[in-house]
Amino acid sequence: MNKKRSGTRGQSLIEILVALGIGVILIGGVTALISVNMRSSSESKMNQAASSLTQEVIDGAKSKAEADWNAFYGLAKGSANAYYVASSTNAITTGKEPISVSGYAFSRYFYVENVQRTQCGIGTPTTDAATASCNTNFPLSSADIAEDPSTQKIVAVVEWAGGRSITQDQYVVRTKNVGIRQTDWSGGGGDNGILTAPNNKYATASSVDVTATPGAIEVVLSGGDTGTTENIDATHHWAWNDVIGWIDFGYAAGNVGVNDVKMFGYASSSIGLIAFNCETTPNGNICGGAAGDWKVANVSGSLQGWAYNDAIGWISFDSVTAGSPIPYGVTIDAATGEFRGWAWNDVIGWISMNCSNENTCGTVDYKVKTGWTSIPDSGWLTSPIFDLGGSVAVNTVAWKGAANGGTVRFQIAASDISTGPWTNADYKGPDGTSGTNYVTSGPDASTVVSPRDFSGVRYVRYKAIIESNAGSTDGPEVQDIIMTYSL
């Protein structure tokens, strides 16, 4: 009995020692887990605080850019140039700002970078380097890259103990957009004054009418060429058809020609004469006959309508007038005066106006060529000097009115001083020279101007170039000219 009781006491002591060991292990594990959790919680809180601080840095920098773009744009660029917005003065200050959040110590700052964009500075931001092509072309394609002076990249940085940091970046652009709009030019020319708002005058003009339509400017129209003097080339006056052979547009008695309105006279062929309008047929003016008033009309270099031959009947010069589902037609090259394309007759088929239609010019160099070219009437007007109040970026130019078959183009001159210079060479187009123009797609369509040439300027002038339709019978009516710019 005594032995049994002694063994029981020994076994209890061992159990107690084992239990104590297990307890120590468990307590150590729990302590380590608590320590890990506390450290993770601390890091999470610091990351959250740092993220909040970076957003504050971004917001502060954006507010300074919006308040004074030119001062913000003038900051030194790159990660070596740290700035912060001081809480006490609300001023941009050089260096890093120390700050404590919930007992944790941080430093925060931002730096600024210039922004490159595709399409010569007006497309998508990119980190690629500027391309040389933007010095002569604007814009060409997404591959042409240039700096956009109206955009900056802000990079906010927050740092804390252990070499840890967090960054956030955001683009900021000029947000104060303003427009200047001229709606009347009837006050006349000679105004080279400095204006803060448009009046009803202009500086200089040529072949522009400012009074015919109240509140609008228009090109002076010559009325076009409606004469009937033969103007088919002495060498190139042949068309071809596979059935009847050569058609002679240079037939001496036919006096074939083209003016701004129509073709006239008649050509010769193996099946007889081909008349191009009812007024100038071999039988004289027959427009009062049963066939009515028919012709091959000239619509800005596109020949439309019908010619006639007694043997084969009507010859169509375009598919639209004929109502054909197969597209065809005859046009006149604006530069060379060469006819191009095909006419059609139901009896003999296609009539080719140029060997290039069939790639046979190496064998037989035939074509019909006229001395008429589609040269429209053109005029221009320059504005007074507009003071935009400070260093700005000119963004777009646009016009309102009616195109009437013509076009409106612009050149812009800009300077940071009122005295210019304002010579003809200072009015620039897309390539940065006076040799090109900003061509608008029509009224109400804004045309972007190159940021390379029109950023950081205060004084600006425009030159509007107004061009009639090809026949000089109508042209644009420009009621408003609008330039937008960013402060």
pLDDT by residue for the chain (487 residues), tens only, comes to 444 444 455 557 777 766 676 665 666 554 544 444 445 566 888 889 999 999 999 999 999 999 999 999 999 999 999 999 998 899 999 999 999 998 899 999 999 999 999 999 999 999 999 998 887 778 888 889 999 999 999 999 999 998 999 999 999 999 889 999 999 999 999 999 999 999 999 999 999 999 999 999 999 998 777 889 999 999 999 999 999 999 999 999 999 999 988 999 999 999 999 999 999 999 999 999 889 999 999 988 999 999 999 999 999 999 999 999 999 999 999 889 999 999 999 999 999 999 999 888 988 999 999 998 877 899 999 999 999 999 999 999 999 999 999 999 999 999 999 999 999 999 999 999 999 999 999 999 999 999 989 999 999 999 999 999 877 889 999 999 999 999 9
Residue 177 has phi, psi (to 5 degrees) of: -95, 135
Give residue 244's pLDDT.
98
**For the chain, what is the radius of gyration of the CA atoms?**
39
Beta-strand pair 385-402/477-486 = antiparallel
Beta bridge partners of 174: none
Q: How far apart are CA 163 and CA 161, in angstroms?
A: 6
Give residue 3's pLDDT.
45
- How far from chain centre, in Å, is Cα 83? 36
Give the closest residue to 389 by CA, choosing from 176, 102, 229, 210: 176
Give residue 143's pLDDT.
87
Give residue 38's pLDDT.
45
Q: CB 452: neighbour CB atoms within 10 A?
A: 18
CA 357 → CA 315, 343, 353, distances in Å?
18, 12, 8
Please spell the DSSP secondary structure of 135-183, one letter per residue.
Answer: GT-SS--TT--EEEEEEEEEEEEEEETTTEEEEEEEEEE---EEEEEE-
Give residue 10's pLDDT.
53
- The torsion defined by the Cα of 304, 307, 313 and 314, in degrees rounded to 10, comes to 10
Give the closest residue to 219 by CA, choosing from 373, 443, 377, 374: 377
Q: How far apart are CA 232 and CA 241, in angstroms?
A: 19
Structure tokens at 486: 């960013």
Give residue 14's pLDDT.
74
Count how many residues are written for the chain. Answer: 487
Run of H or E including 391: strand 385-402
Give residue 376's pLDDT.
85
The DSSP 8-state label assigned to residue 361 in this structure reads T
Find out whether 140 and 120 touch, Cβ atoms under 8 Å.
yes
Find out whether 57 and 149 touch, Cβ atoms under 8 Å.
no
Q: Which residue has the tokens 């380590």?
A: 32
Domains in the chain, start-ordered, CATH in brackets? 64-173 (no CATH), 177-223+377-486 (2.60.120), 232-370 (no CATH)
Structure tokens at 269: 């062929």
Q: How far apart are CA 339 and CA 371, in angstroms?
A: 11
- How far from chain centre, in Å, is Cα 406? 19
Find out whether 106 and 99 touch, Cβ atoms under 8 Å.
yes
Question: pTM for this structure?
Answer: 0.69
Please spell the DSSP secondary structure of 238-281, one letter per residue.
Answer: EEEETTTEEEETT-GGG--EE-SSBEESEEB-TT--EESBTTSB
